[in-house]
Amino acid sequence: MEEGKTMADEEEVVVEVEQQQQQPCPPLSKNAQKKLLKQQRYEVKKAEKKALLKEQKKREGERKRKEWEEKLASATEEEKQQLIESRKCLRKERMDQRSDEKGKKMQRLTNAKENGQNVVIDLEFDHLMSSSELHSLVQQIMYCYAVNGRCSSPAHLWLTGCQGEMQAQLQRLPGFDKWVVEKENRPYIEAFQDQKERLVYLTADSETTLDVLDPKHIYIIGGLVDRNRWKGLTMKKAEDQGIQTAKLPIGTYLKMSSSQVLTVNQVVEILLKYLETGDWKTSFFAVIPQRKRCEGDNDIEQDEDTEGKDDHEKKIRDIELEEEKDDQESKRQCIES
């Protein structure tokens, strides 16, 4: 049992978690209603922004097509052939470059399978999330995979306990079947049953502070988007399973304006940055948005559900665009071959 904690404390957490799981939702407080309204407004704005971007993209495509057609119309037959030929070359160059980058990325990820730091995303919590939270988690996982692929020394990612709706949503992601990650239906505790002593559950509620990343250890991150509704859940799970726990050493390097509970993608990114730099401070400052830290002018109280949303949305859009491009290019390659 954790130092300083009595059996009664432990039981209280257990009872609290069980009650959270069983009780029907109580009526919302004024604060919660405000939060909900803010969230709903945010969703509306987000949908409008998405539609606007789609429209802009469509118009830009049309403008480019028109420009190209005009260029061709005013050209002589010989110039036309040249224009078409140079456009083909440019496309091929771009495609070769992309496929070269992709090949290198695949190689890095395959090497990580052998020598990389093992990082598990524990996906056994899908029943505790709403569908929009589940969707958000899937987006975060997609983001983690993309960031990992760009790292010079990536980690080896595991998705464990991957079943049901979670699995269905992941499988809908473009290219998911080709991802170089370990897709494991079993819970991590079964998948790593012979290596239990190497498992370390990362949780903000741990008394132990992570000092360095040990390559022999397998770090687990709770696959949860819960706005910290399920307080202490991963800590309790790890304790019940008798595995080690640790929290990130955030407090040693910076002051947070609110809780130290980070999102899944932030934790993965911090670990990746640490693997690259060996420096926690650099890693925290690179990943934790300024508004969540205490030393900026934008020192606003924010929590997990609103923090850095615009940045996050933008990052996700970038990845979606990248995936879309990859998709279009492989279609083009199929057509041209």
| Whole-number Å distance between alpha carbons of 265 and 1 | 30
- Select the residue interacting with ligand SAM from 129, 162, 248, 287 (CB under 6 A): 248
* Residue in the structure block whose two tokens are 């057609």: 69
Q: What is the DSSP letter of 232?
A: T
* CA 282, chain centre distance (Å): 20
- 203 with 239: CB under 8 angstroms? no
- 165 with 126: CB under 8 angstroms? yes
The enclosing H or E element of 144 equals helix 131-150
Quick note: the x/- pattern for ligand SAM over 32-61, rule CB under 6 A, is: ------------------------------
Nearer to ligand SAM, 108 or 137 (CB): 137
Nearer to ligand SAM, 157 or 267 (CB): 267
- Select the residue interacting with ligand SAM from 160, 169, 234, 257 (CB under 6 A): 234
**Is residue 292 a contact residue for ligand SAM (CB under 6 A)?**
no
* Residue in the structure block whose two tokens are 């990536």: 154
Applying CB under 6 A, the span of 107-115, 218-226, 295-303, 322-330 interacting with ligand SAM comes to 218-226
| Nearby residues of 221 by Cβ (< 8 Å), 6 or more positions away | 119, 120, 121, 122, 202, 264, 267, 268
Applying CB under 6 A, the span of 29-37, 76-84, 229-237, 319-327 interacting with ligand SAM comes to 229-237
CB-based closest residue to ligand SAM: 222
* CA 10, chain centre distance (Å): 31
- Provide the pairing of β-strand 156-160 with 199-202: unpaired
Nearer to ligand SAM, 303 or 326 (CB): 303
| Whole-number Å distance between alpha carbons of 275 and 267 | 12
CB of 231 to ligand SAM, least distance (A): 6
**Is residue 146 a contact residue for ligand SAM (CB under 6 A)?**
no
Applying CB under 6 A, the span of 6-14, 142-150, 191-199, 200-208 interacting with ligand SAM comes to 200-208
- 88-91: list long-range contacts, CB under 8 Å, 24+ apart: 91/332
CB of 236 to ligand SAM, least distance (A): 8
Strand partners of residue 247: 209
- 134 with 169: CB under 8 angstroms? yes
**Is residue 199 a contact residue for ligand SAM (CB under 6 A)?**
no
- Select the residue interacting with ligand SAM from 109, 146, 233, 271 (CB under 6 A): 233
Site residues, ligand SAM (CB under 6 A): 202-204, 221-222, 224, 226, 228, 230-234, 247-248, 250, 260-264, 267, 304
